[in-house]
Chains A and B, each alone.
Chain A
Amino acid sequence: MLAIIKREILSYFSSATGYIILAAFYVFGGFYFYMTSLASNTTDLSYTFSSLFIILIFIIPILTMKLFSEEKKQKTDQALLTAPISLTSMTLGKYFAAIIMYLFCITITLIYAIIVSFFNSPDWAIFASNFLGIFLLGSALIAIGMFLSSITESQIIAAIGGIVIGVLMLFIESIAHAVSVEFISKFLNKISFMNYYDDFTLGIISLENVVFFLSVCILFVFFTIRVFEKKRWS
Chain B
Amino acid sequence: MVEVKNLSKKYCNKDALCDVSFSLNDGEVLGFLGPNGAGKSTTMNIITGYISSSKGTVKVDGDEILENPIAVKRKIGYLPEQPPLYVDMTVKAYLSFMYDLKKVKLNKKQHIEEICKLVKIDNVYNRIIKHLSKGYKQRVGIAQALLGKPKLLILDEPTVGLDPNQIVEIRKLIKTLGEKHTIILSSHILSEVQSVCNRIIVINNGKIVADDTTSNLSSDFSTENRLILSIEGDEYTILNELKNIAGVKNVTVNKSEPDAVVNYIVIYDKNKDIRSTVFSKMAEINCPIVSMSNNNMTLEDVFRKLTSEN
Residues of A at the B interface (CB closer than 8 Å) are 2-4, 6-7, 10-11, 14-15, 74-86, 231-234
Contacts and interface: CB of A to CB of B under 8 A. Distances in A.
Given A75-B82, A78-B50, A232-B51, A85 B88 contact: no
Interface in B72-113: 73-74, 76, 78, 80, 82, 84-89, 93, 97-98, 100-103
Given A79-B144, A82-B49, A84-B70, A4 B101 contact: yes
B213 interface: no
A80 B84 CA distance: 9
Contacts of A81: 49-50
Q: What 6 pairs across the A-B complex have the smallest Cβ distances?
A: A3-B100, A79-B84, A84-B73, A76-B84, A84-B74, A82-B48
Nearest to A3: B100
A232 B87 CA distance: 25
A10 B90 CA distance: 12
B101 A83 contact: yes
B52 interface: yes
A76 B52 CA distance: 18
A160 B203 CA distance: 44
Contacts of B74: 84
Interface in B1-38: 11
A82 B76 contact: yes
A60 to B, nearest CB: 22
Contact of B97 (A3, A15, A231): A3
A14 B130 CA distance: 13
Contact of B80 (A4, A75, A85, A233): A75
A123 B101 CA distance: 44
B221 to A, nearest CB: 35
A9 B85 CA distance: 17
Contacts of A234: 11
